[in-house]
Amino acid sequence: MNIGTLVWRNSQGNLRIGTVTGKELDEKGWAHFTVNWHDDGCHRMATDRSDKLRKDNVDSYARTYRSDELTVATVKHLEKAASAHHLLKDYRSEQQFPAC
């Protein structure tokens, strides 16, 4: 996993997809990554806390992830899955359910 890698993570039932923007190694050899999460509104709504911006002005959403907390995703796989979903969607009626 390197800077620029597309990754995903399941967090409290929300599928998060993002791009690795930073990488650091700790003293034990674990790689820790910073991620720019894409279209992350559902996760932020589910984890919204009044302390998002703490007294020391540190964004509580800004954190690093160990390599075992992230999974590499490929754009081609996501494109194929989305395409298959849209093809299937054409064969069934769509029901409206409120979601974030």
Single-letter amino acid code for the residue at 12: Q
Assess contact for 45 and 10: CB atoms under 8 A: no
Q: What is the pTM of this model?
A: 0.70
Indicate the number of domains in the chain.
1
Q: Is residue 61 part of a domain?
A: yes
Per DSSP bridges, beta strands 71-72 and 65-66 are: unpaired
* Residue 68, helix vs strand vs coil: helix
Q: Is residue 99 part of a domain?
A: no
* Residue 86, helix vs strand vs coil: helix
Q: Is residue 97 part of a domain?
A: no
pLDDT in tens, 45-94: 777 765 555 555 545 566 899 999 999 999 999 999 988 888 876 666 66
Q: Is residue 43 part of a domain?
A: yes
Q: Is residue 100 part of a domain?
A: no
Domain range for 79? 6-89
Which residues, at least 6 apart from 65, have a Cβ–Cβ distance to it below 8 Å? 9, 32, 33, 34, 35
Q: Is residue 94 part of a domain?
A: no
Which pLDDT value is given to residue 78?
92
